[in-house]
Amino acid sequence: MSNQNYYKANLRDLSFLLFEQFKLGDLLGKEPYANWGKDDDAGIKALEENMVLDANFKDTRQKLYALLLGKADTLTLNALSHEQHKGDDEADDR
């Protein structure tokens, strides 16, 4: 018998906990986190240029991978949030 977890997280609950309850937005606005997520596209471009010159320079490969994963996660969360809100709007129309 499989003991696989089928739990599906509620994005609204997670957002509330992180940003309202734990004040993550306030923390990310202060040092040493002040510049996180400010200009990921510029960071990705710079790291891609570094990859051409020397992929092993100061962990370029790992940093680029982390930035690309972060960007993909952000895009996925935005798409899921948009779908969830669209579904809520359709339910309200009924």
Amino acid 57 reads F
22 part of a folded domain: yes
The token pair that represents 92 in the structure block: 């309200």
35 part of a folded domain: yes
Q: Is the pTM of this model over 0.75?
A: no
How far apart, in whole angstroms, are the C-alpha atoms of residue 61 and residue 82? Answer: 32
Contact 60, 52 (CB under 8 A): no
Q: Give the per-residue pLDDT at 23.
A: 84
Q: What is the mean pLDDT of each run of 10 residues along the chain (94 residues)?
A: 73 83 78 66 83 81 84 83 68 56
4 part of a folded domain: no
Taking CA 77 as the corner, what is the angle to CA 74 and CA 83, rounded to the nearest 5 degrees?
A: 140
5 part of a folded domain: no
75 part of a folded domain: yes
Which residue range(s) make up the domain with 86?
11-93
57 part of a folded domain: yes
Q: What are the Cα distances from residue 46, in Å, to 17, 26, 49, 50, 57?
A: 34, 28, 5, 6, 12
- For the stretch 8-34, pLDDT in tens is 777 788 888 888 888 887 777 676 666
